[in-house]
Structure formats: C-alpha cells, structure tokens
C-alpha cells in the first residue's frame, strides 16, 4: 500500500541553524514527490516538487530536497532557518490510479524556531 | 492570477445536519480535488472532479458528495453530519497532472 511517513512530529531549531525534515515513502512506481508548508489557519503552499531528473530539487524560501530512491526518502533541508519558517510541513506522494491523480500526505512535522 | 478560494472560512453545524462547502478553482485549472484534514493529521483525499464528473474517490462514505460546474468551481456536500466530520476541508485545483494548488480551507465544527 502507498504511504508516507514523517518520523518527526515536532522539531525545534534555533534561528540561523540548519534544518532537515525527514520523509519516507512507499510506492511501487516512480513517485511524484512534494513538500508543502502550512501556517496556522491557512491552506497548504507548495515548497517544491520532484517529478524526474536531477534528484536535488530547489524550492521557494531557500528550501531544497533530495530524492534518494535507494532509501525511499525525500528529505527537506534548509541551511539557515528564519523565524518565519515556523509552521507545519507536509510531505506527499502523488499517485496515479485508474486515471485519478491523488496525493497521499504524511502526518506532518511541526517546526518551532527559537529566537 | 486568481488562486483557489473557498467559502465559508468557518462553519458550525449540529450533528445530523447537512452542509455545503464551496470552492473556486485557480484560473486555467480543470481539475478539482477535496481533502479532509482532521486536527493533527495530514490531509486525506475525499474525491476528485474532472470535466464535471467524479473520477476518483478516497475512503469516504456516500454521504460525502460533490459537484463541479462548467466554470470549474465546485461544491462539497456532506449529509447527516457526525461529530468526526469536524475538520478543515481543503479544496485544491490543478490542470492535468500539475501540482495541486490549495485554498485556505473551510473549518467545519460539528456539535
């Protein structure tokens, strides 16, 4: 069965520190992978996506993610976190089944940034 | 470019009632999907509409139904509301298999 696992429910980092959020997926075919961010009371904003090609993808707000097929992972990174990055982050895999394209989301990682 | 807009932003209903949530797709998008996000969880796929037809459904009962209109706007209807239906309902639009663009959601509280 297709699934997405985000092992860390909460992560706290100091402003200016580096960040890595983990994501592991289970999907039989080549996955479409996404990271979204959700601020309180808001919808989801796309940070970056992987469809094919270069396994290191750049996104908005200085985020990047690396697709590692051998580890079934798509971890999100940022070299220096800003206080405004505090939010909830969701990893998702896009699946195509019987003509329906749907996303399976992880349970999210809530990021807290210390000043 | 107009993004995905949803209405209302908040709603309180009583168990057993019916509710309709509305969504306007982003300009140029022909596919709309609905997701339910319970507190502390990731969004769960409810269903997807393309060319006014439902073309995929998640693990939700038939009392969850929807419509897509010729202008690609959409409605989500939920009948016989249950307490567990309390959640943030997210509408997302896309064109073909482009990434989903989400609205800010409707927060439904069932008492």
Q: Residues B15-33: pLDDT tens digits? A: 999 999 999 998 888 899 9
Please give the backbone phi and psi of residue A85, each rounded to the nearest 5 degrees, phi first. -80, -10
Contact B43 A105 (CB under 8 A): yes
Q: How would residue A96 be classed by pLDDT, with cut points 50, 70 and 90?
A: confident
Residues 45-64 of B with CB under 8 A from A: 45, 48, 55-58
B4 touches A: beta carbon within 8 Å: yes
Contact A103 B56 (CB under 8 A): no
DSSP secondary structure code for residue A70 in this structure: G
Q: Minimal Cα distance from B103: which residue of A?
A: A43
The two three-digit tokens of residue B30, written as one number: 């022909």
**What average pLDDT does chain A have?**
93
Q: Which residues contact B37 (CB under 8 A, 6 or more apart)?
A: B43, B44, B87, B88, B89, B90, B105
Supply the pLDDT for residue A29.
Answer: 78
> Of the candidates B56, B90, B103, which has its C-beta nearest A100's C-beta?
B56
Give the minimum alpha-carbon distance from B102 to chain A in angstroms, rounded to a whole number: 6
Please name the residue of chain B whose CA is at the shortest distance from the CA of residue A98: B56
Contact B37, B43 (CB under 8 A): yes
**Number of CB pairs, chain A paired with chain B, less than 8 A apart:** 62
Per-residue pLDDT averaged across B48-67, rounded? 93
The contacts of residue B12 (CB under 8 Å, 6+ apart) are: B108, B109, B110, B111
Q: What is the DSSP string of B39-99?
A: TTS--EEEEEEETTEEEEE-S--TTEEEEE-TTS-EEEEE-S--GGG-EEEEEEEESTTSP
pLDDT of amino acid B1: 58
Q: What is the pLDDT of residues B28-53, one digit of tens each?
A: 888 999 999 999 899 999 999 988 99
- Could you report the per-residue pLDDT of B3-18, keeping only the tens digit for each? 999 999 999 999 999 9
How high does pLDDT run on average in chain B? 93
pLDDT at A101 over 80: no
Q: Rounded CA gap, A81 and A63, in Å?
A: 10
| pLDDT one-digit tens code per residue, A68-81 | 999 999 999 999 99
The more confidently predicted of residues B78 and A28 is B78
């Amino acid at each position: 069965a297709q699934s997405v696992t985000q092992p860390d429910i909460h992560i706290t980092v100091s402003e200016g520190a580096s960040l890595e959020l983990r994501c592991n997926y289970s999907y039989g075919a080549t996955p479409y992978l996404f990271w979204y961010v959700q601020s309180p009371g808001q919808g989801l904003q796309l940070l970056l996506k992987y469809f094919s090609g270069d396994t290191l993808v750049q996104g908005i707000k200085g985020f990047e993610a690396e697709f590692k097929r051998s580890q079934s992972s798509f971890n999100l990174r940022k070299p220096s976190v800003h206080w405004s990055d505090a939010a909830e982050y969701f990893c998702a895999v896009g699946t195509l089944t019987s003509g329906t394209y749907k996303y399976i989301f992880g349970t999210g990682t809530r990021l807290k940034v210390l000043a | 470019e107009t993004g995905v807009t949803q209405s209302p932003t908040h709603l309180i209903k009583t168990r057993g009632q019916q509710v309709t949530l509305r969504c306007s797709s982003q300009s140029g998008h022909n596919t709309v999907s609905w997701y339910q996000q319970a507190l502390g969880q990731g969004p769960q796929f409810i269903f997807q509409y393309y060319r006014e037809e439902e073309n995929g459904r998640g693990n939700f009962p038939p009392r969850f139904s929807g419509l897509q209109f010729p202008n690609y706007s959409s409605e989500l209807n939920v009948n016989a509301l249950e307490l567990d239906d309390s959640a943030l309902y997210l509408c997302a639009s896309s064109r073909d298999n482009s990434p989903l663009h989400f609205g800010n959601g409707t927060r439904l509280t069932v008492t």
